[in-house]
């Protein structure tokens, strides 16, 4: 992002030992919130693609759910608030940040 060369983001999730192409945030919720936070902070206007494989179900519904998840995570970030997140990050006390984030899920 600093070099102005981020044009595309490939989104899915996995358990880090293999790329399982799972639904975004299904394993790494907080990582996804952090990614979306920084994309917003740096005003990134980039293309995102979703690489999600389903074993059962309707592929079209699966893709819609994938898009819905990202939109819901963006809504959660709006609920939490960028100023509050910046304050928690700058404060550097993980227990304060995590407690606030968990409460924000309610």
Per-residue pLDDT at 92: 95
The C-alpha atoms of residue 33 and residue 13 are separated, in whole angstroms, by 13
Residue 36, SS3 per DSSP: helix
Two tokens, residue 86: 């910046």
pLDDT in tens, 38-75: 999 988 888 889 888 878 888 889 889 999 999 999 99
pTM of the model: 0.86
pLDDT in tens, 30-48: 999 999 999 999 888 888 8
Specify the residue for token string 């984030």: 101
């Amino acid at each position: 992002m600093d070099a102005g060369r981020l044009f595309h983001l490939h989104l899915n999730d996995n358990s880090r030992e293999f790329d399982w192409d799972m639904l975004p945030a299904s394993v790494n919720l907080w990582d996804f919130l952090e990614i979306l936070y920084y994309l917003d902070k740096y005003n990134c206007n980039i293309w995102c693609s979703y690489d999600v494989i389903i074993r059962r179900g309707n592929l079209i519904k699966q893709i819609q759910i994938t898009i819905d998840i990202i939109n819901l995570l963006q809504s959660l970030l709006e609920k939490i608030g960028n100023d509050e997140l910046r304050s928690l990050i700058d404060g550097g006390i993980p227990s304060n940040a995590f407690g606030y984030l968990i409460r924000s899920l309610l």
